[in-house]
Structure 1
Amino acid sequence: MPPAALPPRSLLLALLITFLWGVNFVVIKWSVAGASPLLVAALRFAVAAFPAVLFVPRPRVSAPILWGYGLAVGVVQFGLLYLAVQLGMSAGVASLLMQTQAFFTALLAARFLGERVTPPQMLGMTLAFGGMALIGLTAGGDVTLAGLPLTLVAALGWAVSNLLVRASGGANVFGLVIWSSLIAPLPLTLLAGLTSGWEAVADTLTTSGPAFWAAVLFMGLGNTVLGFGVWSGLIQQHGAARVAPLSLLVPVFGMLASAAFYHESFPPLKLLGAGLVLGGLVLHVRGSRLRPVRSSAD
């Protein structure tokens, strides 16, 4: 039996969060245009951590899980995503390819947790990776050969963080997001200084205008604190089966926002690739409901 529909208020909240997460890719592209992408990512997590850590209880997880989650999300997922966007990946395609974390999560869970990947999920993965190959053929312009693999590795970092959440034993995910945000700023800032130069870092911190800092606040407070706070609450109230599939709307909003703000074009080959990736994601999500999610570690 399919999950019951969400109440109107909860559905509107979920749609608002997916909209914010989709538009966020446009904000990322704008914010890294004149600044080190790694520094921008560091500022995002610094804003997400303070002052929220003063009010959100520390999650009951081990130090390796907390640090692993912070590095996987902060340095690998967002650090590489911001770098990929600066290297030419369009906001729309980046928002779509980041959703391949669902496939990486399933494959990692099969390898390390003994979970079974169903035939519909395998078909979904095949369709999606075929779509990514088509997108890769459009490289140049708003899809770059350097940005494409970086985006996929960023999605892999997201998948690793999903497994760490699974290993946390039911810890409060919102608390994990907030407290792990303390970990990312230092290594990201160090990497920014080493790659872009400390003068560029200092220049960004001292001369950036209100629009730049508004973008940082939007990414840190709007997307991380508000976004994950509301999303976690919806999942806690209604269950993941009713809420999580709505995240498939993130790349839809991301591509629409990119087309509106950056006039991103979708020629036939690129549009076909995006359709295959999105279709594969839908098939993967539906296929995951055809068997209980169990593992040898349960």
Structure 2
Amino acid sequence: MRPIDAALALAVTLIWGIAFVVTRTALDSFSPALLMVLRFALSALPVLLVARPAIGWPRLAAIGATLFLGQFLFQFVGIAQGVPPGLAAVIVQSQALFTVAFSAALFGQVPGRRQVAGLLMAGGGLLAIAATSGAEFSFAGFLLILVSPVSFAFGNILMKRAGPVDMVALVAWASLVPPLPGLALALATEGPGGMGQALAGASAASWLAALYLGLVATTLGYALWGRLIARYSAATIAPFALLVPFVGAAASALVFGEAFGPLRLAGMALVLGGLAVLLTAPRPAGLSR
């Protein structure tokens, strides 16, 4: 990999890792539904400049509903329910575990022995993390945020089967999907008055956080990642994604003083170790990544 591209890959991991801390800041002023509306209304702005990608509307809507709506709504809800940002970064990255598992179940892409070992390690880590729920966050909060990587995994599969597309265009047009359901949910739970009060009373930090999530973490982050994927193999690029939870955990510890007990650390280590095995294991015949 060229040094400039390695630097870009590292920049994306920083952007996405820091986004978990930024999300916690934005949720101080906005509800999860309203934050989702703001994030994807901003990331959809390039539709004014780029043509729709060459995929059908049903697939585009499905990608937007899984990769964006499902992933980020439940991520935001989980963090709002008390799941610390650093821990959330690890849980969301378990999407690789679910991607392999769903590919095996849906398409018969049977994982090899090393991948099975990685699945078991990561799954055991998630169970250990679940066992730490209690005073800081509820088990219900853990289950809610766990929907995020599950939805992320379905989005990965849909993206893979869509073939090569312009990532900037795909991100922009798929970003049109989350705002309307998010707006409907915000209206149902907060009402127009509550939404207006949240928008009017939001801090400058929360507004800057929403801008970061929409324009930097979504538009810029996915555009850079798409460029790298187009240039290099998945095996070359995917390991960089393992750095995202480390960045998220370090940033959360620095900004919010997030602490990790022995069991939680063990669970996080198992998840990340299992994901490393999954991403570096040889690909069996017939198995796609």
Class of the TM-score when normalised by the shorter of the 2 chains:
over 0.9
The equivalent position to 2:92 in structure 1, one of 76, 88, 98, is: 98
Matching residue of 1:3: none
The equivalent position to 1:291 in structure 2, one of 273, 284, 289, is: 284
Question: Which whole-Å deviations, capped at 9, do the CAs of 1:67-126 have from their partners, x for residues lacking one?
Answer: 111111232110111011000011011100111111111111112222121111111111
CA apart distance, 1:294: 4.1
The equivalent position to 2:44 in structure 1, one of 25, 34, 49, is: 49
How high is the TM-score relative to the length of structure 2?
0.95
Give SS of 1:256's match. helix
Distance of 1:57 and 1:262 partners within structure 2: 41
Matching residue of 2:265: 271
- State which drifts further: 37-46 or 192-201: 192-201
Give SS of 2:163's match. coil
Kindly provide the amino acid, as one letter, of the partner of residue 5 in structure 2. S
Label 1:9 to 1:141 Cα distance change in 2 as closer, same or farther (>3 A): farther
Distance of 1:143 and 1:206 partners within structure 2: 29
- State which drifts further: 67-76 or 133-142: 133-142
Distance of 1:28 and 1:211 partners within structure 2: 11
Q: Is the 8 A contact 1:41 1:74 kept in 2?
A: no
CA apart distance, 1:185: 0.4
Give SS of 1:140's match. coil
Spell out structure 1 runs of 4+ moving beyond 6 A. Answer: none
Question: Which whole-Å deviations, capped at 9, do the CAs of 1:26-79 have from their partners, x for residues lacking one?
Answer: 0111111232111101110000001x1122221111111011111112321101
Distance of 2:54 and 2:34 partners within structure 1: 29
Unaligned runs of 5+ in 1: 1-5
Give SS of 2:236's match. helix
- State which drifts further: 12-21 or 191-200: 191-200
What are the equivalent positions in structure 2 for 1:66-81 lying under 5 Å apart?
66-81=60-75
Matching residue of 1:12: 7
Kindly provide the amino acid, as one letter, of the partner of residue 291 in structure 1. P
The equivalent position to 1:210 in structure 2, one of 204, 209, 213, is: 204
Matching residue of 1:22: 17
Label 1:293 to 1:97 Cα distance change in 2 as closer, same or farther (>3 A): farther
Q: Is the 8 A contact 1:35 1:200 kept in 2?
A: no
CA apart distance, 1:241: 2.1
Aligned length: 288
Give SS of 2:194's match. helix
Give SS of 2:139's match. coil
CA apart distance, 1:290: 3.3
Distance of 1:183 and 1:216 partners within structure 2: 17
Distance of 1:205 and 1:73 partners within structure 2: 26
Indicate the percent of aligned positions where both proteins have the same amino acid: 36
Distance of 1:265 and 1:71 partners within structure 2: 33
The equivalent position to 2:33 in structure 1, one of 8, 33, 38, is: 38
Distance of 1:150 and 1:178 partners within structure 2: 26
- State which drifts further: 189-198 or 93-102: 189-198
How high is the TM-score relative to the length of structure 1?
0.92
Unaligned runs of 5+ in 2: none
Distance of 1:278 and 1:293 partners within structure 2: 25
- State which drifts further: 16-25 or 164-173: 164-173
Kindly provide the amino acid, as one letter, of the partner of residue 196 in structure 1. E
